[in-house]
Amino acid sequence: MMRTSTRPAPDMRGDELISPCLCKGTQQFVHRECLDHWRSVKEGFAFSHCTTCKAMFHLRPHVPEDYSWRKLKFRFFVARDIILIFLAVQATIATFGVLAYLLDSDGQFRKSFDDGWDRLLSVHPVPFYYCAGVFMLFVILGISGLVVHCSSVNRGDPCMAGCRHCCYGWGILDCFPASMEACGALLVIFVVIFAILGIAYGLLAATMALQRIWQRHYHILTKRELTKEYIVEDLNGHYTPPSLDPEHEARLKSLHLL
């Protein structure tokens, strides 16, 4: 019998079953690869201890002399995620650009920008509708960010009491007696404001995403490689108190893994 594995059944064939701790019965054996995966993704002392019986593993140090390959792997994974996010953003912009092109099928809106500094964009449809897609993306980001921000405001905060009701009743109805030109100008102003907010929220989201990618890969990849440097020994059901070299013990404690 063995513990419940996180891997599909076909992938278990040929993998090494070990008994690394005090667990008995159905919990005694575990696939080494599954255990190493658990050690790398689980927080706390799961790297060096069994999360069921709390017994410390017998760790056999196998520390390589060269760490350059780890740095290369880390940079590769970070670059991969950044490229994927960039491609996703470009695909979204392209979708909005195509939508703008379909809405302006006769090109009248594009040709209305042929008398100023933006004439170059109006002459070439691809950069024009690409910029339109970027603008639409920022507007949607601004609206979404504002909605999320307002929904997260503490409802008991007296400082925000007036802000939550500013658009109800009198605030919006004041536009209707005005002319269509005034309402159109007001709509343009709101759209531009949302686009500016979208730029701010977009920069904030990009910064948070980069930090998240960096921290995630650094943390998980480091622990994943450490599972190969500190190998869990198979005790075959005969558990004894483990001992670890003071140098390696201090290193794992500094990483909060022991």
Tens of pLDDT, residues 99-138: 988 988 887 887 777 666 666 666 778 888 898 899 999 9
Task: Indicate if 136 and 198 belong to the same structural domain.
Answer: yes
Express the helix, strand and coil content of the chain in percent, nearest 5 each. Answer: 65, 5, 35
Rounded distance between C-alpha atoms, residue 17 and residue 162, angstroms? 64
Task: Indicate if 210 and 123 belong to the same structural domain.
Answer: yes
Question: What pTM was computed for the model?
Answer: 0.58
Tokens of 187: 């709509």
Task: Indicate if 208 and 105 belong to the same structural domain.
Answer: yes
Task: Indicate if 155 and 94 belong to the same structural domain.
Answer: yes
CA distances from residue 11 to 26, 116, 186, 240, 246 in whole angstroms, order as listed: 20, 64, 61, 31, 37
Amino acid, res. 74 = F
Structural domain count of the chain: 2
Task: Indicate if 111 and 195 belong to the same structural domain.
Answer: yes
pLDDT number for residue 96 = 93
Rounded distance between C-alpha atoms, residue 38 and residue 43, angstroms? 9
Tokens of 117: 């500094």
Q: Which residues have CB under 8 Å from 93's CB, separation 6+?
A: 130, 133, 134, 137
CA-CA-CA-CA torsion sign (131, 133, 134, 140): positive
Rounded distance between C-alpha atoms, residue 135 and residue 114, angstroms? 19
pLDDT number for residue 93 = 93
Q: State the pLDDT confidence band at 170, using cuts at 50, 70 and 90.
A: very low
Task: Indicate if 23 and 129 belong to the same structural domain.
Answer: no
Decide: residue 230, CB within 10 A, 0-12 exposed, 13-18 middle, 19+ buried: buried
Question: What percentage of the chain has pLDDT greater than the value 70?
Answer: 77
Rounded distance between C-alpha atoms, residue 234 and residue 21, angstroms? 9
Residue 41 has pLDDT above 60, yes or no: yes
Rounded distance between C-alpha atoms, residue 18 and residue 31, angstroms? 6
pLDDT number for residue 157 = 55
The bridge status of strand 59-61 relative to strand 17-18 is unpaired
- What range does the domain containing 224 cover? 9-66+220-254
Task: Indicate if 179 and 227 belong to the same structural domain.
Answer: no
